[in-house]
């Protein structure tokens, strides 16, 4: 994994990961120095929410496991990423998530489950779930909260970390906690400006373009038949990068590169959804 360079010269610190001495700049997280630790709520353009607990590692001297996505490296720290204890934790977290949530469109999760032997069906057929009808209340994107793992990323993207629209927040508590507008108002009645920046960061597919949702529903969504082309948005002079995902000569969704120093993956309604009008299908 690349280490994000913040431009200032930083002190280097040494620590140990799985027996290997590693040097990182001060302020780096454990995750940034490790390869292949699964993450769900971590976002490369967002502050860590450390809520999903998929990325837990052992740190010597710590009573509990530690979230690698947010814990900063300290000099001399001794970290283990693959022990019986971390595997048990990861297996349980994935089983718990899988037993309550539809993870069918979460990239890589089945691979991680297989690695640790997670079996969400262990909790039985009566296990409570977050299953609910998808919210299709506007022409641009769909909120299918049966797939929501409550990672906070959409809320953070919509709020003070990027968009400053504050259209959505976490409401309720415990297992009833959910992403919501005020009084569950439909999106057209909310503060949403359809920037789609929440879709950009959603790790599960709970938020998806209407086109993707419809195509999945009628069985014509085919990622292997899609191409992705990055171009520059022509709607205004800012020059945001757009990545157009095309299937059968049709734009099916638009993302934006997270490493763009201008936009960090964020767009406005025109860049994100303007093609729907252009394409006129």
Partner 1 sequence: MDLRFLAAAPSTVEQAAIDAALTGDGRDQLLPALHAANDAVGWISEGALNHICRRLDVPPAEAYGVATFYSLFSMEERPRKVVHVCVDLACKVNGAEALVDAQSEFVVRSPCLGVCERAPAALAVEAGVGSEYLMPEIPLPQRGDPGLRLLRRVGVVDPRSLDDYRAAGGYSALRNALALGPQGVIREVTDAKLMGRGGAAFPTGRKWAATAGQPERPHYLVCNADESEPGTFKDRVLMEGDPFAVVESMTVAAYATGCTRGYLYIRGEYPKAFSLLSNAIEVARERGFLGRDIMGQAGFEFDIEIRRGAGAYICGEETAIFNSIEGFRGEPRSKPPFPVEKGLFGWPTVVNNVETLANVLLILTEGCQAFQRIGTSQSTGSKLFCVSGTIGHPGVYEVPFGATLRELLDLAGGVPDLRAVLLGGAAGGFLRPDEIDLPLTMEDARSAGTTLGSGVVLVLDGTVDVGGFLLRIAEFFRDESCGQCVPCRIGTVRQEEALHRIVRRTGDSQDLVLLRDIGRVMRDSSICGLGQTAWNAIESAIDRLGVRL
How far, rounded to the nearest angstrom, does the alpha carbon of residue 204 sit from its chain's CA centroid?
7
Query: Minimal distance in Å, beta carbon 197 to ligand FES?
Result: 19
- Quick one: which segment of 7-15, 29-37, 59-67, 264-272 binds partner 1 (CB under 8 A)? 59-67
Q: Which does 42 bind (CB under 5 to 8 A by kind): ligand FES, partner 1, ligand SF4, none?
A: ligand FES
Subset of residues 135 to 174 that bind partner 1, contact rule: CB under 8 A: 149-150, 159, 164, 166-174
Closer residue to ligand FES in complex, CB, 43/271: 43
When asked if residue 266 is in the footprint of ligand SF4 (CB under 6 A), the reply is no
Query: Minimal distance in Å, beta carbon 214 to ligand FES?
Result: 30
In the block, residue with structure tokens 């710590």:
62
Query: Minimal distance in Å, beta carbon 42 to partner 1?
Result: 13
Count residues contacting ligand SF4 (CB under 6 A)?
Answer: 27
Q: Which does 92 bind (CB under 5 to 8 A by kind): partner 1, ligand SF4, ligand FES, none?
A: partner 1
In the block, residue with structure tokens 């039985």:
124
Q: Supply 38's token pair.
A: 């699964």
Spatial separation of the C-alpha atoms in residues 191 and 199, rounded to whole Å: 16
Subset of residues 136 to 175 that bind ligand SF4, contact rule: CB under 6 A: 148-154, 157-158, 163, 165, 167-168
> Site residues (CB under 6 A) for ligand SF4?
148-154, 157-158, 163, 165, 167-168, 179, 192-198, 201-204, 206-207
> Site residues (CB under 8 A) for partner 1?
50-54, 56, 64-65, 67, 70, 85, 88-89, 92-93, 96-97, 99-100, 122-124, 126-128, 149-150, 159, 164, 166-177, 180-183, 190-191
């Amino acid at each position: 994994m690349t280490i994000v360079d913040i431009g200032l010269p930083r002190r280097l610190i040494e620590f140990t990961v799985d027996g290997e001495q590693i040097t990182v700049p001060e302020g780096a997280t454990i995750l940034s120095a490790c390869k292949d630790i699964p993450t769900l709520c971590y976002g490369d353009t967002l502050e860590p929410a450390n809520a999903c607990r998929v990325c837990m590692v052992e740190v010597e001297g710590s009573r509990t496991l530690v979230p690698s996505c947010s814990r900063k490296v300290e000099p001399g720290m001794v970290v283990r990423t693959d022990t019986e204890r971390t595997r048990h934790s990861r297996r349980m977290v994935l089983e718990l998530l899988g037993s309550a949530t539809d993870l069918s469109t979460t990239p890589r999760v089945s691979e991680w489950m297989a690695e640790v032997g997670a079996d969400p069906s262990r909790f039985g057929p009566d296990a409570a779930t977050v299953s609910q009808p998808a919210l299709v209340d506007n022409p641009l994107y769909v909120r299918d909260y049966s797939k929501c793992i409550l990672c906070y990323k959409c809320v953070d993207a919509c709020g003070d970390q990027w968009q400053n629209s504050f259209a959505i927040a976490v409401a309720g508590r415990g297992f009833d906690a959910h992403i919501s507008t005020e009084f569950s108002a439909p999106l057209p009645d909310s503060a949403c400006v359809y920037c789609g920046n929440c879709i950009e960061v959603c790790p599960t597919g709970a938020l998806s373009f209407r086109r993707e949702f419809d195509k999945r529903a009628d069985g014509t969504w085919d990622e292997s038949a899609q191409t992705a082309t990055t171009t520059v948005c022509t709607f205004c002079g800012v020059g945001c990068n757009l990545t157009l995902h095309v299937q059968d000569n049709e734009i099916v969704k638009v993302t934006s590169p997270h490493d763009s120093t201008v936009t960090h993956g964020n767009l406005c309604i025109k860049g994100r959804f303007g093609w729907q009008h252009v394409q006129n299908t």
